[in-house]
């Protein structure tokens, strides 16, 4: 009877050891999966930052004075004002 109790204890200890090792392996796999997800998100962020930078550069080029003046001349037939075209209105505020 004593040998059965001793065998049960050993079996229980081995089962507990295997369970704890399985838990550690599962936690490590979860950590690795989380790290992979984090790396993918960091890559996406880097791509989005680069895309945003390109868009901001494009906006600056499209809003530049030289481009606006050129398009105003070509499409709207406008010209740059000379000093004789500028009239200053003076008056009192209501």
Range of the domain at 71: 2-78
Output the pLDDT for position 26: 96
65 in any annotated domain: yes
DSSP letter at 85 equals G
pLDDT tens, per residue, the chain with 94 residues: 466 688 888 999 999 999 999 999 999 999 999 999 999 999 999 999 999 999 999 999 999 999 999 999 999 988 887 877 788 788 876 6
Output the pLDDT for position 3: 63
88 in any annotated domain: no
84 in any annotated domain: no
Instruction: Assess contact for 43 and 36: CB atoms under 8 A.
Output: no
Output the pLDDT for position 49: 98
Backbone φ and ψ for 33, nearest 5 degrees, come out as -65, -40
What is the spatial distance between Cα 39 and Cα 26, in angstroms, rounded to a whole number? 20
Residue 87 φ/ψ region, left for φ over 0, alpha for ψ in the -120 to 50 degree band, beta for the rest? beta
93 in any annotated domain: no
Q: How many domains does the chain have?
A: 1
90 in any annotated domain: no
92 in any annotated domain: no
Output the pLDDT for position 12: 92
């Amino acid at each position: 009877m004593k040998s059965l109790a001793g065998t049960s204890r050993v079996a229980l200890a081995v089962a507990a050891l295997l369970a704890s090792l399985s838990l550690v392996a599962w936690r490590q796999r979860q950590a690795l999966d989380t790290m992979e997800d984090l790396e993918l998100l960091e890559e996406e962020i880097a791509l989005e930052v680069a895309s945003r930078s390109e868009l901001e550069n494009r906006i600056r080029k499209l809003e530049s004075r030289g481009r606006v003046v050129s398009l105003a001349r070509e499409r709207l037939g406008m010209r740059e004002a000379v000093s004789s075209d500028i009239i200053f209105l003076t008056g009192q505020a209501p």
